[in-house]
């Protein structure tokens, strides 16, 4: 079976301060007034800011509507110069408080809808924390929710407004988001880089190791922000969800989180090896891709390949071998690789063998996942549909056309979108739920709320990432917030935060969400109605199981 490719076109995707003016030197009689003004200013500042000491140095947060935000806090040393393409290291200590009023730079990537419009830099290993207004009076530590953004491991950022954590934090949790290295800067494997790592003989997993560094930061600092380092929920969407799944099997991630939420992405598609494998010539290795990159940046034949590649600017690195945000049977091209250290084996092998963290787990997908990946495709008729299926999954053309006949859908394009939705999202999620459920409570969801503008007016339905505004409570860009959205926001945030607190999303009078088992095959639909269902796409998923098993 050759490549199952998703032709992806991504859809979603400083504080000013001034000192009081000094009084004139000859205005001695104004001194008491000046002192009073200074005291008033200090009191006002204390009412709107909060200083916290992290393990590396103090940071000043800013209070708005009862939530304190700490933005742009460094969690690792800037990966610049000789630190490019190396595992993250600890940031230097600081003593002067950092005014954490603005988010840090987005990690360097090709400009697009997922990257936002803010500044980009290799110096991008920053995180953001949202917590309650006061900390000292809190008798109990709050659950911590750590989010990993999506973008196919090549794009994305939490530096925009979409992932602002204030709304979630107001529900009684501490929210952490962070940026991690992407694309060639985060996931470039190369023999010269592997040779440099004399301890572990690995390369190309730097972005994933950034994620682990952020989780270690949370472990070491959550308590200072009112959070419980022993109650951390890791959640993410798309490539972030794939990452959550991958952390469940990565040895160095063990113990860094205690619950997991995966939104529209499983780690079974992460099967790229670091080294070439003669027995699997169709699976391109990370190092093989790195050798092509070496040529693209003009370093072939240089005596010190690593130094030559590090001498290129970040812009040259990204431009040398740009790849789209895509999912495929053999993986997103720049993505975590199986190196024998960060990942000792392919994640799906670990999962099937039971070698993973058995933590409470929420996972699921959206009703129209495929539409975001076909937005730029033209599939005018049945012949074009069949040709695309043949290019996507050439050894299963008859099976796909039988399960998704164009005549049964509004258009051939809709048939292809349904196939992508089920083959890449719904069925792999159902299979993963069956693997994890015996070892820990597992909850499967199906998100069906179509936003009035982004989903209905634009005709995209409940597309890939459409649940995120309802998770974070932030509506911007394509999304409009209507009265009908409010109960969906309340339901989604309620289930997510109750799960973060206890490992069980149920409570507060919400509709019951039964834990998944292979026997009950149950899920919760979250949409205009919140209700339990069974057998989500059972017939097609059971049929697909045999031909998707190698890549789940």
350 catalytic, yes or no?
no
3-state secondary structure of 142: strand
Measured distance CA(386)–CA(379) in Å, rounded: 9
Contact 29, 37 (CB under 8 A): no
Distance (Å, whole) CA 388 – CA 3:
12
For residues 329 and 318, give the distance between their C-alpha atoms in angstroms, rounded to a whole number: 24
> Catalytic one among 69, 159, 238, 365?
238
Catalytic residue among 264, 464, 467, 523: 464
The continuous run of DSSP H or E covering 538 comes out as: helix 538-548
Please state, as a whole number, how many other Cβ atoms lie within 10 Å of the Cβ of residue 119.
10
Strand-strand pairing, 126-132 and 67-74: antiparallel
Among 122, 263, 369, 417, the one annotated catalytic: 369
Phi, psi of 50 (to 5 degrees): -145, 125
Q: What is the chain's alpha carbon radius of gyration, rounded to the nearest angstrom?
A: 24
Alpha carbon 364 to its chain centroid, in Å, reads 14
Closest of 330, 347, 163 to residue 243, by C-alpha: 347
Name the region of 347 (left: φ>0; alpha: ψ -120 to 50; beta: rest): alpha
Partners of 361 in beta bridges: 260, 442
In SS3 terms, 489-507 reads as: HHHHHHHHHHHHHHCCCCC
* Angle between helix 382-392 and helix 412-420 axes, rounded to 10 deg: 20
Q: How far is 290 from 324, CA to CA, in rounded Å?
A: 17
369 is catalytic: yes
CA 329, 332, 338, 342 torsion-angle sign: negative
**Residues annotated catalytic, as ranges:** 238, 369, 464
């Amino acid at each position: 079976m050759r490549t199952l490719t998703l032709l992806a076109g991504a859809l979603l995707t400083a504080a000013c301060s001034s000192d009081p003016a000094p009084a004139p030197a000859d205005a001695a009689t104004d001194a008491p007034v000046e002192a009073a003004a200074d005291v008033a200013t200090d009191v006002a500042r204390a009412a709107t800011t909060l200083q916290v000491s992290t393990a590396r140095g103090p940071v000043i947060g800013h209070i708005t509507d009862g939530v304190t935000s700490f933005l742009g806090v460094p969690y690792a040393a800037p990966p610049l110069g000789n630190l490019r393409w190396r595992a993250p290291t600890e940031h230097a200590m600081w003593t002067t408080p950092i005014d954490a009023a603005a988010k840090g730079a987005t990690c360097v990537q090709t400009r697009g809808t997922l990257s936002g419009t803010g500044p980009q830099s290799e110096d991008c290993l920053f995180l953001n924390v949202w917590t309650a207004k006061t900390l000292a009076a809190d008798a109990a530590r709050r659950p911590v929710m750590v989010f990993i953004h999506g973008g196919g491991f090549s794009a994305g950022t939490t530096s925009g407004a979409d992932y602002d954590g204030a709304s979630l934090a107001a529900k009684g949790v501490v929210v952490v988001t962070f940026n991690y290295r992407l694309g060639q800067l985060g996931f470039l494997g190369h023999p010269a880089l592997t040779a440099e790592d004399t301890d572990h003989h690995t390369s190309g997993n730097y972005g994933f190791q950034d994620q682990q560094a952020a989780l270690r930061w949370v472990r070491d600092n959550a308590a200072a922000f009112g959070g419980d380092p022993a109650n951390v929920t890791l959640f993410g969407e798309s490539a972030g969800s794939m990452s959550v799944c991958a952390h469940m099997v990565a040895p160095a991630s063990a113990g860094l989180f205690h619950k997991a939420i995966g939104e529209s992405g499983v780690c079974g598609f992460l099967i790229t090896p670091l080294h070439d494998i003669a027995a699997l010539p169709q699976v391109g290795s990370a190092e093989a891709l790195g050798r092509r990159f070496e040529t693209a940046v003009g370093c072939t034949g240089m005596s010190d390949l690593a130094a030559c590649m590090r001498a290129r600017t970040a812009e040259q690195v990204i431009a040398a071998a740009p790849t789209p945000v895509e999912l495929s049977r053999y993986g997103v091209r720049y993505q975590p690789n199986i190196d024998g250290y960060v990942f000792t084996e392919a994640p799906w092998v670990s999962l099937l063998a039971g070698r993973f963290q058995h933590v409470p787990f929420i996972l699921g997908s959206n009703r129209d996942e495929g539409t975001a990946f076909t937005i730029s495709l033209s599939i005018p008729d049945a012949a074009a549909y069949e040709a695309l299926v043949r290019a996507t999954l050439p050894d299963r053309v008859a099976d796909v056309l039988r399960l998704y006949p164009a005549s049964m859908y509004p258009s051939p394009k809709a048939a292809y979108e349904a196939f992508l939705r089920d083959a890449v999202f719904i069925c792999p999620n159902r299979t993963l739920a069956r693997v994890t459920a015996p070892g820990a409570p597992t909850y499967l969801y199906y998100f069906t709320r179509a936003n009035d503008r982004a989903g209905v007016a634009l005709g995209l339905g409940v597309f890939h990432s459409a649940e995120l505004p309802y998770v974070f409570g932030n509506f911007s860009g394509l999304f409009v917030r209507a009265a009908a959205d409010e109960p969906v926001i309340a339901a989604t945030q309620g289930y997510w935060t109750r799960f973060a607190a206890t490992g069980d999303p149920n409570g507060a009078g919400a509709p019951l969400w039964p834990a998944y088992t292979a026997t009950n095959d149950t899920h919760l639909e979250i949409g205009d109605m919140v209700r339990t269902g069974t057998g989500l796409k059972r017939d097609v998923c059971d049929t697909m199981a045999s031909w998707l098993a190698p890549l789940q």
